[in-house]
Amino acid sequence: MKIAIAGTGYVGLVTGVVLAHLGHHVTCVDVDEAKVETMRKGISPIYEPGLEELMAENMSRLTFTTDYASAYRDAEVIYIGVGTPEKKDGSANLSYVNQVIDQIAASLERDCIVVVKSTVPIGTNDKLEQRLRDNLAHPVSVEIASNPEFLSQGTAVKDTLHAARIVLGVESRHAEQVLRQVYAGLDQPIVVTNRRSAEMIKYASNDFLALKISYINEIANLCELLGADIQDVARGMGFDPRIGNKFLNAGIGYGGSCFPKDTKALHWVSSYHDRELKTIKAAIEVNDRQKLLLVKKSHKYYDSLEGKKVAVLGLTFKPETDDLREAPSLVNIPILLDDGAKVYAWDPVGVSNYKRFYPNEITYCQSIEQALQDAELCLIFTEWADVKALKAETFRQLMKTPIVLDGRNCFSLDQFRDTGVVYDSVGRGVVK
């Protein structure tokens, strides 16, 4: 099929490449000429394992352009995967989506299904369809379908090729049939529902996962006080299939471009309708507090960090991505700097993005060892594989004062017992 994709971020580009892999002819549209030029050379503008390889395999069916009119004109299906960032009040900013809808209306010369993958508030797709139909330049038949995205950054390609489910929010049999045809090459359960339910499935899923994380983080904080071990507690809980063993990793809170934004958006909409989601409000508050856990803990060890060398391992919001959005490092490092700490940071892919915020205030290290050398405190924000592979011995040998505050529970407690390293993780007590 002839498919166009608006937006080449995580959702748009991964969808485009996977659809090309399924045999469709895909044109990816982006406003950024330099980005388009990069993709034409087969280079992915985002760090996503496996994406460039899949791009290379399917380049014959992939086109990248800024010329939206030519891409949309005769597309059978158009996907919208542009951002819906958070506005100051927490609601979703739909200006990019609206702009694409207007461009489609101006360009379309054949009947088409427009698929909204961007996360949009419940009821938005009805309005988008109206806006599209009202502004069509040619007398064609168009329909909007909602097809929310469930991929995670860092595993986006795998998540799309082997998704747990595909949700189709449609208002006609025709739209359902067209989308079933698009996804015919994937063997995944398909949930067909109306558009509003599909929109809600997306928010309710993300917010549930965020809630699960905030819940386990609160339990972890209590475990720490009462002498329980959160990892054993989570394992014990996870065997119950009604609870499940995923997303029970305690840490310094969720970040990224989705959970923080989607919790606030659903909370905003619930408050607007005078049905405030109190559980989601609590999840947001708990997360904001949890993100500052390591800086707070550092005061157990030092009254002031003035002049202290602090090693920071990991800057991104999670491993296998260079994305810094809502990363705990972004709220902690400014506090460390304010306290007068000398910050030595290591991250395998996040440094160039971080330099945009702090070009000179931090020493960026080429290796973990360089960051740890003579450090008086080590803070772990991201569970990169290279961090998890470290030995207690390395901390002890390199650091001036081996105190490790681990925000992602990268190590077993046994690894640090009787090593001379103070190892303080989340929800598990301190080992020395």
Q: Which of 78, 97, 200, 213 binds ligand UGA (CB under 6 A)?
A: 213
Q: Closest CB to ligand UGA among 253 and 402?
A: 253
Q: Closest CB to ligand UGA among 195 and 308?
A: 195
272 neighbors 293 (Cβ within 8 angstroms): no
258 is catalytic: yes
Please tell me whether residue 378 adopts helix, strand or coil conformation: strand
Q: Which of 30, 129, 143, 149 binds ligand UGA (CB under 6 A)?
A: 149
Selecting among 28, 112, 223, 258, the annotated active-site residue is: 258
* Contact stretch for ligand UGA (CB under 6 A) within 38-46, 62-70, 149-157, 188-196: 149-157
Does position 256 interact with ligand UGA (CB under 6 A)? The reply is: yes
Tell me the C-alpha to C-alpha distance, in Å, between residue 165 and each of 60, 159, 190, 201. Answer: 28, 10, 6, 11
At its nearest, how many Å lie between ligand UGA and the CB of residue 234? 8
Return the residues of window 111-130 that contact ligand UGA according to CB under 6 A.
Answer: 119
Quote the CA–CA distance of 290 and 307 in Å, as a whole number.
26
Beta strand 422-424 with 430-431 is: antiparallel
423 neighbors 404 (Cβ within 8 angstroms): yes
203 neighbors 262 (Cβ within 8 angstroms): yes
Q: Which of 47, 79, 203, 254 binds ligand UGA (CB under 6 A)?
A: 254
* Contact stretch for ligand UGA (CB under 6 A) within 129-137, 187-195, 253-261, 339-347: 253-261
Does position 233 interact with ligand UGA (CB under 6 A)? The reply is: no
Beta strand 62-65 with 25-29 is: parallel
At its nearest, how many Å lie between ligand UGA and the CB of residue 254? 3
Q: Which of 98, 249, 271, 394 binds ligand UGA (CB under 6 A)?
A: 249
Does position 208 interact with ligand UGA (CB under 6 A)? The reply is: no
Quote the CA–CA distance of 272 and 46 in Å, as a whole number.
35
Residues with Cβ within 8 Å of 267's Cβ and at least 6 positions away in sequence, in order, are: 90, 276, 277, 280, 281, 284
At its nearest, how many Å lie between ligand UGA and the CB of residue 263? 11
Contact code string over 301-330 relative to ligand UGA, x by CB under 6 A: ----------------xx------------
Neighbours of 289 (CB within 10 A): 15
Quote the CA–CA distance of 334 and 332 in Å, as a whole number.
6
At its nearest, how many Å lie between ligand UGA and the CB of residue 322? 12
Quote the CA–CA distance of 384 and 40 in Å, as a whole number.
30
Quote the CA–CA distance of 328 and 292 in Å, as a whole number.
7
Q: Closest CB to ligand UGA among 28 and 112?
A: 28
At its nearest, how many Å lie between ligand UGA and the CB of residue 354? 16
Catalytic residue positions?
Answer: 258
Contact footprint for ligand UGA (CB under 6 A) = 119, 149-153, 206, 209, 213, 247-249, 251, 254-256, 258-259, 317-318
